[in-house]
Amino acid sequence: MQNFLRDAAEFLPILLQGVWLTIVVTTGSLLLSTVLGLLWALMRVSGIRALTLLSGGLINVIRGIPIIVLLFYLYFVMPDFGVAMSALQASILGLGIAYSAYQAENFRAGIEAIDRGQIEAAQTIGMGWWLTMRRVVLPQAVRIVLPPYGNIMIMLLKDSSQASTITVAELALQGKLIASSTFKNTSVFTMVALMYLTMSIPLILLVRHFESKANRK
């Protein structure tokens, strides 16, 4: 135990640098996946056949490719086509795209859960498609999608470790580097695990908050 505390004090500053990058990757890809997911979902329910098919196809392609392959593609293959980006940019883009498929399906479920009668009521007071979405459907869908959205945030936090495969020195990679140079596997990976857990606790509490709020309505 004493050894662990001494190791912890020694490695903490380096691991905290990793924590910072983990937070940057997670936040960046969460924002991107939310925006893209909402876009895919709105295309899917637009009632315009071409958009529905396009979004359905996109979601299936994205879902069918492992995140790690998507990251390799962005970081190692895209430069061959003249599109070079930093490892951090590639990881945010890759995770953002990968998670946009899950976000889209979640948002679509929320949108489709809204009673058809509500949409008709909105139409009969002269609301168009977008106004109906903005004033009637989305405000109610938010309450439905929030609990699963919280879960997606936690999954994304953990999957941000995959950015390590394209050299982003986030928490998992920092831990691996320290462990391989000091051989203190137990201390290092225990710390890494505890730090991921610590970061997900606020998210878990947030999910619980969303859920109790949704249940109250």
Partner 1 sequence: MIELRDVHKRFGANEVLKGITASVEKSEVVCIIGPSGSGKSTILRCINGLESYEAGDIFVEGARVDSHAASIVGIRTQVSMVFQRFNLFPHRTALENIIEGPIYVKKEPRAQAIERGHALLAQVGLAEKADAYPAKLSGGQQQRVAIARALAMQPKAILFDEPTSALDPELVGEVLGVMRKLADDGMTMVVVTHEMSFARDVADRVLFIDGGVIVEQGPARTVLNQPRHARTQDFLHRVLHPL
CB of 120 to partner 1, least distance (A): 6
The site map against partner 1 for 68-107 (x = CB under 8 A) is ----------------------------------------
**Neighbouring C-alpha atoms within 13 Å toward the C-beta of 120:** 3
CB of 139 to partner 1, least distance (A): 5
Residue 115 interacting with partner 1 (CB under 8 A): yes
The one among 86, 128, 167, 198 contacting partner 1 by CB under 8 A: 128
Nearest to 139 by CA among 127, 131, 149, 128: 131
Phi, psi of 192 (to 5 degrees): -60, -45
Give me the sign of the Cα torsion angle 120, 122, 126, 132.
negative
Are residues 14 and 200 in contact, defined by beta-carbon separation less than 8 angstroms? no
Residue 124 interacting with partner 1 (CB under 8 A): yes
The one among 5, 131, 194, 197 contacting partner 1 by CB under 8 A: 131
The site map against partner 1 for 143-172 (x = CB under 8 A) is x-----------------------------
CB of 201 to partner 1, least distance (A): 30
Terminal C-alpha separation, the chain:
48
CA angle 60-101-146, nearest 5°?
A: 145
